[in-house]
Structure 1
Amino acid sequence: MLDPFRTAHDAQVLALAIVNTIPEPFLVLDEGFHVLAASRAFYEIFRVDAAETQGHSLFALGDGQWNIPALRHLLETIIPDKVAMDGFEVAHDFPGLGLRIMLLNARKVIYDDSAAITILLAFRDVTANRLIEGEKAGLLAQAEMLLDQKQMLLEEMRHRVANSLQIIASILLLKARAVASDETRKHLKDAHLRVMSVATVQHHLHTEDGIAQIDVGPYLSKLCAGLGASMIGEDSPITIEAQADPGMTESATAVSLGLIVTELAINAIKYAFPDSKADARILVGYERNGADWKLTVSDNGVGSAAVFLPGETGLGTTIIKALAKQLGAVVAIGSGPDGFRTTITKASFASRDKAAAAVAA
């Protein structure tokens, strides 16, 4: 193979041409840190000329602007023990340039036929990158502070809403005890129960970790437990149980589901068990099928729709139908000797039991 370099001078010319094509500042130093060659980018960026650079000590260039302790440490301490060093960061206020942050990459070149050592030193200006990173960090810190403030305000709002609901419920109950009219007392007690239902939904909704998305299964289980604890007397054998598929839903949907469950549970507590029953039970079921769902509230009480939902224009019925319409769902009721059932179905939901039966057929 022919040697393309006929003389040492040819090799030096090629090496200098390579150095000058590098778009970033680049130096070739001898073992005493004197400049053997510098790239055109080095001269242009740091505003020095070749006569004042080549052959001079790096630390004496430009009135000592490179006499930086961190750089001295790199060249005098680290490089002698290592062949290479990458990403050594130096921050310095250069005359005429201002503060610059440089990443230095150094390579020590050892020759087979000579004891001389050459050091290649490349500079990369990352000042703009660091400024952007600093701005991003500042914006992130500001965003986190705003989120913390928002969370504090949200918690304060939750407490205020909860306290207001409790005060309203207490006032309604006191009024119910004070009035002489049985009909007025009944309406006030119904209003008290509905305010308590909203308070119960609000409490259990806000115990969830997320705000935008709620896991329906645990949410309904906690809600039923809360309803049982707050609305069923100690002498009553009624239990409320939830059997719900896991899955996330929007918080607005969870609110509506909670209000429906609470309204139906209140009606069941009031009407489904006129006589004491040892195994009285209210069951809340929730099934999912993709974006569709089915909510069922059933009991093993007397099974009379006329007793359970008195009148098509009753407040409870109106509330449930309005919430179902808002959710794009339909309401169906059924009663029999085994109790009463209300089903709210979203879109074309098909129960797993029915789907399995169709496949088997």
Structure 2
Amino acid sequence: MSPPMTTPLQGIEDAQTLAQAIVDTIHEPLLVLDAQFRVLAASRSFYAIFQVDPAQTMGRALYSLGDGQWNIPALRVLLETIIPERAAMDGFEVEHDFPGLGQRTMLLNARKVIYERSANTTILLAFTDITARRLIEREKEELLERTAELLAQQQTLLQEMQHRVANSLQIIASILMIKARAVASEETRQHLRDAHQRVMSVAEVQAHLHASGGVDRIEVGGYLTKLCGSLAKSMVDEDRPLALEVIADAGQIGSDKAVSIGLIVTELMINAVKYAFPVAKPDARVLITYASAGDGWTLTVADNGVGKAIDLAPTKRGGLGTVIVEALVKQLGATMEIRSTDGVTVTITHPATLQVPEAA
């Protein structure tokens, strides 16, 4: 007959010794309470952190420890209301002026232990100090709130600046038109009118930015439609009608590049009005198209006028408008092609950036 099996715990004393060793090993403060919330055991960290005397703790009711400093309303709710109903509670947050520590925020975890062979119950109560964590969270929230306030202020200042720039551009445009009416020279008058159109194209970007809340990217179709509408009002004579049509997809572009595109369209429009239709033409038309693919795009300005001979010899230079367009195309990193068949078609292309495939 084999000998009876033995276990390391031969009696209640051994079990109590093991239980106390487990309690003392736990890093966080831990209390073991009976059903009347008297202290049956406490971890070393509880005594060290809360600076209480073991002789004044063991066997005493929790609420009476330290002249009643532990008689915390939130703790009473946890022990007397929540634990009897649920038997366990994790992450119960308590903010209190704890004895020996000062104002702290604690997370309490509680468990009710029910024994098979005894009607007695005990409660395990563990404390985790999250004061520093909550302080960091509050500082983060305050920083986010402050950042949001600064962004709102920045947005207000940006909108105010855009408003002032738009007003200044309108004033400059008005002065140019007044001067154009006052000068005797037709050539000077035309130069002033051209300058007026260039200012108006920049003003249209500012107006579009202001209307869209100061966003950095502009929907090109809407922008070109508004720009060409304003150009038509100031450039097209009633006795020489000219239809302007814009066809554009939903592509967007940075506001800085939109200024360059607007100036290019303005210069090409000025050129079409000056040279494409030397005599009135009932179906005179200028078509502006914009198509995008990724960060690549193509802008085309085409008229159905008389066309003109194109001399691409490097020694031949155009007027101010041609120089402006060439400079803007180069600035955009694009290329320009001019065709003269049944009118003049100018195509400006910005290639899409090559996308490097991700490694498998």
Q: TM-score range by the shorter chain?
A: 0.7 to 0.9
In structure 2, the residue matched to 1:165 is: 169
Match of 2:243 in 1: 238
Q: Report the CA distance between 1:197 and its aligned residue.
A: 1.5
Counterpart contact for 1:292–1:349, Cα < 8 Å: yes
Aligned to 1:355: none
Can you list the C-alpha shifts for 1:307-351, whole angstroms capped at 9, x where unaligned?
xxxx834121111111111112222211112x211122224799x
Shift of 1:18: 1.6
Gaps of 5+ in 2: 311-315, 355-360
Letter in 1 for 2:113: V
* 8 A contact 2:228–2:244 mirrored in 1: no
User: Residues 214 and 21 (structure 1 numbering): CA distance in 2 closer, same or farther, change over 3 Å?
Assistant: farther
2: CA distance between counterparts of 1:75 and 1:303? 93
Structure 1 letter corresponding to 2:172: I
Report the count of equivalent residues.
Answer: 344
Amino acid at match of 2:302: S
Partner of 2:132: 128
**1:65/1:95 contact within 8 Å kept:** yes
In 1, Cα distance between the equivalents of 2:188 and 2:204? 24
Q: Tell me the alpha carbon deviations over residues 255-295 of structure 1, each in whole angstroms, 9 at most, x when there is no partner.
A: 22222223223333443334444443322233334443322
TM-score (norm 1): 0.86
Sequence identity percentage: 62
Aligned residue among 326, 333, 341 for 1:336? 341
| Cα pair 2:337 2:346 within 8 Å, conserved | yes
Name the counterpart of 1:85.
Answer: 89
Deviates more, 1:129-138 or 1:290-299: 290-299
Aligned pair 1:61/2:65, yes or no?
Answer: yes
Q: Distance in 2 between matches of 1:163 and 1:346?
A: 32
Gaps of 5+ in 1: 351-361
1:315 aligns with 2:320: yes
d(CA) in 1 for partners of 2:119 and 2:181?
105
Which stretch of structure 1 is more off in the superposition, 200-209 or 217-226?
A: 217-226
C-alpha RMSD of matched pairs (Å)? 2.5
Q: Which amino acid aligns with 2:340?
A: S
State the one-letter code of the partner of 1:240. E
Q: Determine which of 115, 120, 129 is the counterpart of 1:116.
A: 120
- State the AA in 2 paired with 1:136: K
Alignment of 1:192-231 (within 5 A): 192-208=196-212, 211-228=215-232, 231=235
* Contact residue 305 and residue 340 of structure 1 kept, 8 A: no
**Corresponding position: 1:154 with 2:158:** yes
- Structure 1 window deviating more from structure 2 (315-324 vs 249-258): it is 249-258
Q: TM-score normalised to the size of structure 2?
A: 0.86
Matched residue SS, 2:144: helix
SS, match of residue 295 in structure 1: strand
> Residue 295 of structure 2 contacts residue 352 of structure 2 at CA under 8 Å; is this kept in 1?
no
Residue 24 of structure 2, aligned match among 20, 26, 39: 20
Of 58-67 and 285-294, more deviation after overlay is shown by 285-294
**SS of corresponding position for 1:152:** helix
Query: In the alignment, which residue of structure 2 is the partner of 1:259?
Result: 263
* Residue matched to 1:49: 53
**Cα distance between partner residues in 1 of 2:348 and 2:197:** 22
Q: 2: distance between equivalents of 1:25 and 1:89?
A: 15
